[in-house]
Amino acid sequence: MERRKVVAVGLISGGLDSLLAAKVLQQQGIEVIGVTFDTPFWDSKQACEIAELVGIPIRVVNISEEHLNMVKNPVYGYGSNMNPCIDCHALMLRAAGRIMEQEGADFLFTGEVLGQRPMSQRFNTLRSVEKLSGYQGLVLRPLSAKLLPETEVEKRGLVDRSRLLAIQGRSRRQQMELAEKFGIVKFTPPGGGCLLTKEGFSRKLKRLLLELPDAEVRHIEMLKHSRFFVLDEGVILFVGRNHHDNKELERLAGEKDVLFNCRGVPGPRGLLVVRDQAHLENYLRLCSEIVASFSDAKPGGEVLVDCGQFGDEKSNIVIACSRDKFSDMMIK
Ligand code: SF4
């Protein structure tokens, strides 16, 4: 009887290490299924393009809500910005594990390299990730496997440990040599696409979660498509920076949010989001002034700003004043 092919499901970020891990397994005749993710903090586009280029079949899973909930309260805390890398890896492994179970695949793999990243790729943290994922013994790190305790996967002979690697540390020399050997020329830089590793975005996200602890995925999208003002505790105004932002803010507005739009003069959309609706009326004029200050109206000129929740439109006439007046409220 023909022996069933071994199947491995792995995290593919589009970074070199994850591609190499997949290639090392493919070289052993193991069938590889790549998994990548959509979240509010990065998307799957680049990973899909790159995986296709190097011949790794890939699936996309949207983990936006699950991921945002984790970012609000990670078990192992954050890295240097709002990046909860240990929890994030574990969550991605859990999602990949669901695919492994659905497909009847044999094990999971990642491109993690021992000692490469200060927070998430130390010996103990690799173990924590695995434990938190719920798939202990079933997670193989092909690039550093020979430096790590033997996994169930190796013990069961599903993979030939002698053909796995022993890479460690921050030097990229061995990976670059392997990239050449496998003909991989395109890949993303480590952590490159993740907004949670960016200082400016992390500062804004932290403040958003402070003002709006119940923030949903759409609020993160608003943050990505705007200038961000905090007017008072739990009172937030998003102001579009260009046509695309304005369209996104319109699309993302919820029933209880208030949209602002300058009439008769080109200007941005504003979107007011409040934690407590009781005081909403108090902020309509201030928001109109801020939105007008980013319009094309000359300073000192009158601007008519339409605002309102769905089906309840109002207008304010305000004076366009200098943007500097509101700079203290803008979170940069
Ligand atoms: S860098 Fe971003 S995507 Fe990568 S593990 Fe950390 S939080 Fe997750």
Query: Pick from 195, 222, 244: which residue ends a domain?
Result: 195
Looking at the structure, do residues 179 and 257 belong to the same domain, yes or no?
Answer: no
Q: Which two tokens stand for residue 61?
A: 């899973």
Q: Based on the domain organization, do 140 and 19 belong to the same domain?
A: yes
Q: Which amino acid is at 166?
A: A
Q: Which 3 state secondary structure label does DSSP give 11? A: strand
C-alpha 121 – ligand 1 centre gap (Å): 12
Is this model's pTM higher than 0.95 or not?
no
Ligand 1 proximity of 88 Cβ (cutoff 6 Å): yes
User: Mind giving me the DSSP string for 283-302?
Assistant: GHHHHHHHHHHTSSSPTT-E
Determine if ligand 1 sits within 6 Å of the CB of residue 74: no
Per-residue pLDDT of the chain (332 residues; tens, 9 = 90+): 666 899 999 999 999 999 999 999 999 999 999 999 999 999 999 999 999 999 999 999 999 999 999 999 999 999 999 999 999 999 999 999 999 999 999 999 999 999 987 667 788 899 999 999 999 999 999 999 999 999 999 999 999 999 999 999 999 999 999 999 999 999 988 766 899 999 999 999 999 999 999 999 999 999 999 999 999 999 999 999 999 999 999 999 999 999 999 999 999 999 999 999 888 889 999 999 999 999 999 989 999 999 987 667 888 888 888 889 999 999 99
Cβ of 67 below 6 Å from ligand 1: no
Nearest-CA residue for atom 1 of ligand 1: 191
| Mutation pick for ligand 1 pocket among 12, 88, 91, 201 (CB with most ligand atoms within 8 Å) | 88
Q: Any idea what the CATH number is for the domain that residue 125 is in?
A: 3.40.50.620
**What's residue 267's pLDDT?**
95
Q: Is 153 in the pocket of ligand 1 (CB under 6 A)?
A: no
Helices 173-182 & 16-27, crossing angle to 10 degrees?
A: 60
**Ligand 1, atom 2: closest residue by C-alpha:** 194
Is 220 in the same domain as 254?
A: yes
Indicate which residue's Cα is closest to atom 6 of ligand 1.
Answer: 85
| Total structural domains within the chain | 2
Report CA(122)–ligand 1 centroid distance (Å).
15
**Rounded alpha-carbon distances, angstroms, from residue 283 to 70, 118, 273:** 32, 45, 10
Same domain, 113 and 24: yes
What pLDDT, on the 0 to 100 scale, is given for residue 117?
Answer: 78
- Given CA atoms 107, 108, 114, 119 in this order, what sign does their dihedral have? negative
Please give the Cα distance from 144 to 198 (Å, whole number). Answer: 28
- Picking from 166, 195, 224, the residue at the C-terminal end of a domain is 195
| Alpha-carbon gap, residue 62 to 246, rounded angstroms | 25
Atom of ligand 1 nearest to the CA of 79: 6
The pLDDT score that the predictor gives to residue 156 is 96
- One domain, residues 208 and 188: no
User: What is the per-residue pLDDT for 155?
Assistant: 97
d(CA 321, CA 293): 5
How many angstroms does the Cα of residue 84 sit away from the middle of ligand 1? 7
207: containing domain:
198-329
